[in-house]
Amino acid sequence: MLTGLKNTFRIEELRGKILFTVAMLLLYRLGAHVPVPGIPFQGMLGLSLNSGNAVAGGAMALLNLFSGGALSYVSVFSLGIMPYITSSIILQLFQGIIPSLHELAREGEVGQTKITQYTRYLTLALAILNSVGYLFLFKSFGINFNGAGAPEWIFDIMIVGTLVAGAMLIMWIGELITQRGIGNGMSLIIFANIMAGLPKAIFRSSEGGTTDLIMTVVVFAVILCVIPLIVFLERGQRRIPVQYAKRVVGRRIMGGQSTYLPIKVNTAGVIPIIFASALLYFPAQIAVFFPNVGWVQAMAGALSGGWINWVLNVVLIVFFAYFYTSMVFNPDDTADNLKKQGGFIPGVRPGKATATYIKNALNKITLPSAIFLALIAIVPSIVFSFTGNQLIQAFGGTSVLIMVGVVLDTLAKVESQLKMYDYDGFFK
């Protein structure tokens, strides 16, 4: 590992990408502490998002976590990365429903560029909607945005415009990291947000006395035990043996070697959890428009926590695990490619039978991995409902899964760059 780190900074191109990524993340964290125009000083001290309001409970706590605390400080980055994630979910769902979008996704780089453009437009629309909702939310906490004798509606327009601009700037930073840095920009932003809230969560969970301190130590011990299981899941593969037939090319005999087709046990990664969380907490974002409507608040509260939230979380995580796996891994295309290259699975006929075999193998490994993801996501929420420990809420299963997944993905991309220059990587 240490040798890999040394080699990473020996390569000028890779060193530049890493430093660029760090600089962009620092810029993002700086913006997370810049307040919106017209906010009073007491608003900059941080809002309490755990009031009796149903919406301001678990839903706002998770949104605040994904924004790195920017929401509680009424920052220009209060919207965080959620508008972009939600728009990505909608576009990916539409690809399975609208044939034209599905064909566009199969056109390679050109089609993906158009889908990215559609995602940006949808992100802008969702950012405007969310910023208006957050304006109502901030006012429900008693913050009055005024000053210099200007009318209130002017400050309302300024705040909405600032929040929208902040959301688009976050999207731009994430895309810059993906293009010019190392790793996935959006995932790294979420990783930075979770890490930013960790010190405060540790302090709050251990400030109550000896009992809370012991609970904090126990939580850390459990997290350390769970991390190897998550790494094992992320690195696990189902290897399907593949044999290539011999063929004569000129005077040479080509092929004849045996290899395998690697299928990741957790092909979808942490995407199912992020998608499920975004969908379940979207009603809470809408509910801030109707603070005095009882049934809307009750619905948002039920979807944001409790047994309904837990059951729906499991169902949605399993659904998105299968859905996203089908999006990124197509058994039919894999079978066609094997057939064109003269490869076959021993005992299985090429073509449709091979696609069916791969599809069955994929389904068998996706279900246990999806159930594992669901348990990791909901068990900490259940424990938090009984203990109230802040560290479990801020650094629970979802956060650990996202962090481990992002770290492994980033290390894999750094390792691929190292091997291009004939250096040893991190993994053996």
Q: Where are the domains of the chain?
A: 2-420
Q: Which residue(s) pair with 343 in the sheet?
A: 244
**51 pLDDT higher than 50:** no
Tokens standing for residue 418: 């190292």
2-420 folds as: Preprotein translocase SecY subunit (1.10.3370)
Q: Please report how many Cα atoms fall inside a 13 Å half-sphere around the Cα of residue 46, on the Cβ side.
A: 11
**35 pLDDT higher than 90:** no
Asked if residues 38 and 155 have their Cβ atoms less than 8 Å apart, the reply is yes
Query: What is the distance in angstroms between the CA of the first residue and the CA of the last residue of the chain?
Result: 10
**In sequence order, which residues have a C-beta less than 8 Å from that of residue 233 and are 6 or more positions away?**
265, 266, 369, 372
**53 pLDDT higher than 50:** no
* Cα distance between residue 224 and residue 304, in whole Å: 27
Q: State the pLDDT confidence band at 410, using cuts at 50, 70 and 90.
A: confident
Tokens standing for residue 6: 């040394």
Tokens standing for residue 81: 């990365």
Q: Which residue(s) pair with 418 in the sheet?
A: none
175-195 pLDDT, tens digit each:
899 888 888 888 888 888 888
* Cα distance between residue 179 and residue 177, in whole Å: 6
**393 pLDDT higher than 80:** no
**377 pLDDT higher than 60:** yes
**346 pLDDT higher than 50:** yes
Of residues 155 and 147, the one with the higher pLDDT is 155
**Mean pLDDT score across all residues of the chain:** 78
**31 pLDDT higher than 80:** yes
Asked if residues 159 and 37 have their Cβ atoms less than 8 Å apart, the reply is yes
328-337 pLDDT, tens digit each:
788 888 888 8
- Secondary structure (3-state) at 341: coil
Asked if residues 322 and 302 have their Cβ atoms less than 8 Å apart, the reply is no
Tokens standing for residue 359: 């599809």
Most confident of the ranges 157-166, 268-277, 415-424: 157-166
What b/e readout covers 183-204, taking b as 16+ CB neighbours within 10 angstroms?
bbbbbbbbbbbbebbeeebbeb
Q: What is the mean pLDDT of residues 386-400?
A: 72
Percentage of the chain modeled with pLDDT above 70 = 80
Q: Are strands 258-264 and 237-244 parallel, antiparallel or unpaired?
A: antiparallel
Asked if residues 279 and 303 have their Cβ atoms less than 8 Å apart, the reply is no
Tokens standing for residue 29: 């964290």
Residues in the chain: 428
- Secondary structure (3-state) at 253: strand
| Stretch among 66-75, 106-115, 314-323, 418-427 having the lowest mean pLDDT | 418-427
Of 240, 265, 224, 208, whose CA–CA distance to 389 is shortest? Answer: 208
Own/partner long-range contacts of 226-230 (Cβ < 8 Å, ≥24 apart)? 226/376, 226/397, 226/400, 227/400, 227/404, 229/372, 230/376, 230/400, 230/401, 230/404, 230/405
Q: State the pLDDT confidence band at 72, using cuts at 50, 70 and 90.
A: confident
Of residues 148 and 347, the one with the higher pLDDT is 347
Of residues 379 and 58, the one with the higher pLDDT is 379
Residue 261: burial class (beta carbons within 10 Å; 0-12, 13-18, 19+): middle
* pTM for the whole structure: 0.77
**In sequence order, which residues have a C-beta less than 8 Å from that of residue 55 and are 6 or more positions away?**
137, 284, 287, 288, 291, 297, 300, 301, 304
Q: What is the mean pLDDT of residues 31-38?
A: 80
3-state secondary structure 103-144: HHHCCCHHHHHHHHHHHHHHHHHHHHHHHHHHHHHHHHCCCC
pLDDT of residue 155: 79
pLDDT of residue 4: 63
Q: What is the mean pLDDT of residues 399-426?
A: 76
Percentage of the chain modeled with pLDDT above 90 = 7
Got the DSSP string for 379-406? HHHHHHHHH--HHHHHSSHHHHHHHHHH
**388 pLDDT higher than 90:** no
The Cα-based distances of 394 to 62, 206, 256, 374, 386 in angstroms read: 8, 13, 53, 17, 15
pLDDT of residue 52: 42
Asked if residues 103 and 135 have their Cβ atoms less than 8 Å apart, the reply is no
pLDDT of residue 251: 64
Q: State the pLDDT confidence band at 237, using cuts at 50, 70 and 90.
A: confident
**In sequence order, which residues have a C-beta less than 8 Å from that of residue 266 and are 6 or more positions away?**
233, 234, 236, 369, 373
Tally of CB atoms within 10 A around 292: 7
State the helix-helix crossing angle for 58-66 and 294-304, rounded to 10 degrees.
60
Of 94, 93, 65, whose CA–CA distance to 81 is shortest? Answer: 65
Q: State the pLDDT confidence band at 46, using cuts at 50, 70 and 90.
A: low
